[in-house]
Structure 1
Amino acid sequence: MALLDRGTAPEDTAGLIQLHQSIAALLADRGEWRQAYEHARHALDIISAERAVPEAPPAVPEQFREEVARLRREHAEAREQAIRDALTASYNRRYLDQRLVALVEQRGACADGLAVALVDLDWFKQVNDTYGHQIGDRVLQRVVELLQDGLPAPAFCARYGGEEFVLVIPGVDGPAAVAVAEAARARVEHHPWSSIALGLRVTVSIGLAYEPPADQRPGATPEAQLRHADRLLYAAKQAGRNAVAYHLDGETRLAGDASGRRGAGVRRAMAH
């Protein structure tokens, strides 16, 4: 659409601005953010063109300023909602996939280590069967809060599916990544779950896949690192659950309180 014909009468210009405003508001109410923003931009372009005429510089209506600001806020909120899980407010699988690709690329450029921890709630089906799905939903929400509570910036938590979550921890070395995952596991175990339902107990198992700085060895793809974390999660389950499993010197180890256990293919971890 053309910005503004220099021969357009002032009343026609005002009407065109109002028309764009009305269309933008209607589209925003319908959730069509991109189209709404385009109409808001058209109106701003018309106002800018009018300002370029020295003899008649129109003022920008305050109501229009507020409308544009509202559209921008709503657009930003819609974008945020598109990358959040509706139940737990953690990031969703879409964001996880996009962010992991970006972090792997950054790792190649700045030689940072990258840890990916796959977290699964132990015996969660029994929680739903015993206490009901409403309690199960509250458990998922609280687990996410606990997982995120001690994460260092710019680490984040994303829902992988069902009762599985992923902690992505960039810019760390191996021992620090293990410490972050073990601290998250311990927070879940020691939380007073009986405050939600009498007799409730919740634990998680974690498989931690760590990729060292890129100058030490070629990094794995995001898909390969997630598969590695999944295999380690299985090892943590096989070793009795409520544990963090990770690789060290070619061996699968268990961290922290679980380090004294043995399981299929799991070696006792060295004391930290």
Structure 2
Amino acid sequence: MSDQEFTRTLGYANAAFDLLKRSGIPPYPQFYELLYTYATGVNPSLNNRINTIFRSGTVPSADLAETLYNEFLKSDVNDRMSSVSERMHARIEAVHEAIDSAMTTANAYSGSLQSATGDLERDLSGDDMRLLATRLLSETRRMQDTNRQLEIKLEASREDIAALQRDLDDVRRESMLDSLTKIANRKSFDEGLEDAIREADKSRGPLSLILLDIDHFKNFNDTYGHQTGDQVLRLVAMTLKSNIKGKDLAARYGGEEFVAVLPSTDLEGAVIVAENVRKAIQAKELLKRSTNEKLGRITASFGVATFNSSDNAMSFIERADRCLYAAKHAGRNRVVSETELVEIDEIPAKGVSAA
């Protein structure tokens, strides 16, 4: 973890503990997670609800915190996964029961045939032969009925299992998307970056990383409200996603930070992509939908790094984060690559913060 990321994370933690203390809520792990998530701003729905509670003057309590935790953070993905698993188990059990029933009928039919074989070895009267034929015909029809029922159940099970598989795929896709921006979430990014690193190690091909942060987003959010802030986040996410292609991965890294993983792209190419995204974001004029009020333009700062053989995921991200931090201190709304770090470090900060 870079110094900048450590500082940000520590700030979120301190804010969470301060909220717990001021609200008189016990610092249980789930309540800390609730307010830490609120401090980061990564769950806009949660933030809107808590802000509404604060504005209403409602006295916070452990019961209220528990309700919010269950509603917003207690993962329903696991519940849905369990539901699908239970349905899958029930369907498999039904198939087993149908097969067992068919096996029992088949064994009984086989016994009837063996018995009939023994009867045929004896001299039978015409009446006995007719009775034997009638019995065998009845057994055969019963066997046919059982087979038809088994076919129906197996076909139904095949369709159910196919539907369950689609449900599982949907749950997995949802678990990998950021709920607000509908691009990949942090979990999806972590997995995607590891996959890209393995592929780069194997192919010896280039791999680059872009880390971007919306400039002055907190001030914008405080001035125009969280709903407008959410629109900005969605705008930046879609702009980033529309400027990458192929195996590239766009993800929300956390809060107002986004990241792009660019396999088969060298540092020069990644800088071009970052510049295109930067210009596209700056070119969009924001309009408040409810009032048609012009809110001006937003900008973002970018850090770009390329993978080398000594890197792991953490060191790779940290280098991109240092580039982003340098871009902030160099005046924001610019792209800094790792080759520029020394040059940027020599420029006086002149009181520019990294917000």
With the length of structure 1 as denominator, give the TM-score of the two structures.
Answer: 0.73
**Residue-by-residue CA offset, 1:129-182 (whole Å, 9 max, x unaligned):** 111110001110111001100202111111111101111111112211111111
96, 101, 126: which one aligns with 2:189: 96
**Residue-by-residue CA offset, 1:50-97 (whole Å, 9 max, x unaligned):** 788685422235654443333222211111111111111111111111
Aligned positions of 1:1-272 closer than 5 A: 32-46=83-97, 56-57=146-147, 58-61=150-153, 64-194=157-287, 196=289, 197-211=293-307, 218-248=309-339, 251-252=342-343, 263-264=347-348
The 3-state SS of whatever aligns with 2:178 is: coil
Aligned partners of 1:42, 1:252: CA distance in 2, in Å? 67
User: Contact (CA 8 Å) 1:245, 1:252: kept in 2 or not?
Assistant: no
The 3-state SS of whatever aligns with 1:242 is: coil
Aligned partners of 1:68, 1:28: CA distance in 2, in Å? 18
Aligned partners of 1:250, 1:133: CA distance in 2, in Å? 34
Q: Which has the larger radius of gyration?
A: 2
User: Contact (CA 8 Å) 1:205, 1:241: kept in 2 or not?
Assistant: yes
The gaps in structure 2 that reach 5 residues or longer are 1-77, 107-142, 350-355
Aligned partners of 2:175, 2:192: CA distance in 1, in Å? 14
Cα offset for 1:247?
2.2
The alignment covers a number of residue pairs equal to 226
The 3-state SS of whatever aligns with 2:297 is: coil
The 3-state SS of whatever aligns with 2:152 is: coil
For 1:241, the aligned partner's letter is R
The 3-state SS of whatever aligns with 1:199 is: strand
Name whichever structure is richer in helix by fraction.
2
Aligned partners of 2:213, 2:205: CA distance in 1, in Å? 26
The 3-state SS of whatever aligns with 2:336 is: strand
Aligned partners of 2:329, 2:341: CA distance in 1, in Å? 18
Other-structure match for 1:18: none
The 3-state SS of whatever aligns with 1:152 is: coil
Other-structure match for 1:21: none
User: Root-mean-square deviation (CA), in Å?
Assistant: 2.9
Aligned partners of 1:141, 1:92: CA distance in 2, in Å? 13
Other-structure match for 2:53: none
Aligned partners of 1:124, 1:59: CA distance in 2, in Å? 61
Would the alpha carbon gap of residues 28 and 160 (structure 1) be closer, same or farther in structure 2, given more than 3 Å must change?
A: closer
